[in-house]
Structure 1
Amino acid sequence: MKKSLIATALFLLFSLPALAAQKTVALSVPGMTCSACPITVKVALNRVEGVSAVDVRYEERDATVTFDDAKTSVEALTQATTNAGYPSTLKQIQATQE
């Protein structure tokens, strides 16, 4: 009984990182008013730990961000843009496994 309990505990311990997933979200960033704004937004988002890709589109006033949900959250992303002077809100979320 002890061996199976220990084996189960070890299995769960080592499988925890596998539960994390790459997520892609679209953020609405309506405060971008010039063609230089996306650069600031992109830099701010790339500085968030766990972010692996950022695509900022000035014309659409949005940013698409791919991140590891075990390392960061949507709240951290929107806080990063707000701290850079460009408040953002979540447009949509898609879970993508990589």
Structure 2
Amino acid sequence: MKRTDIIVAGAFALGLAVMHPGGLLPTAAQAASVTSQDEKTTVFDIENITCALCPVTVKTAMEAVTGVATVDVNFDKKTATVTFDPSVANVETIGIASTNAGYPAKARD
């Protein structure tokens, strides 16, 4: 296949995806239906956060835990606020994920 044919086919496929009722990204209603009503939010104190890249690493490690919905890392406070489904994930597993990435995390009581 010629390069231009590949580009045209890709653009066409992308156009179809955008025109699909669901589009490429879920709508707010679709996202809400995926979110569990039994979610729990926990704040973790994070050690070793010293540079602007540290929060990215912590967030990536915590988000990799199955059941974690959102992670918000605050560089100044050295905390991570994590929302997760407790039927799938737990505080200990989330803390271990951050610790294994080099940033020991302890959940606040």
Q: Same fold (TM over 0.5)?
A: yes
TM-align CA RMSD: 1.2
Unaligned runs of 5+ in 1: 1-19, 93-98
Question: Which structure exhibits the higher relative contact order, with contacts defined as CA atoms closer than 8 Å and separated by 6 or more residues?
Answer: 1
The ranges of structure 1 where at least 4 consecutive aligned residues each deviate by more than 6 angstroms after the TM superposition are none
The alignment covers a number of residue pairs equal to 73
Unaligned runs of 5+ in 2: 1-36
Does 2:90 align with 1:73?
Answer: yes
Does 2:73 align with 1:56?
Answer: yes
Spell out, residue by residue over 1:17-74, the C-alpha distance to the aligned partner (whole angstroms, 9 max, x if none): xxx8200000000211111100000000110000001100110000000000000100
**Residue number in structure 2 paired with 1:22:** 39
Q: Which amino acid aligns with 1:44?
A: A
In our comparison, the structure showing a higher alpha carbon Rg is: 2
Seq. identity, %? 42
Q: Which amino acid aligns with 2:64?
A: R
**Residue number in structure 2 paired with 1:85:** 102
Q: Which amino acid aligns with 2:108?
A: K
For normalisation by structure 2, the TM-score amounts to 0.64
Which structure shows the bigger proportion of residues in strand conformation? 1
For normalisation by structure 1, the TM-score amounts to 0.71
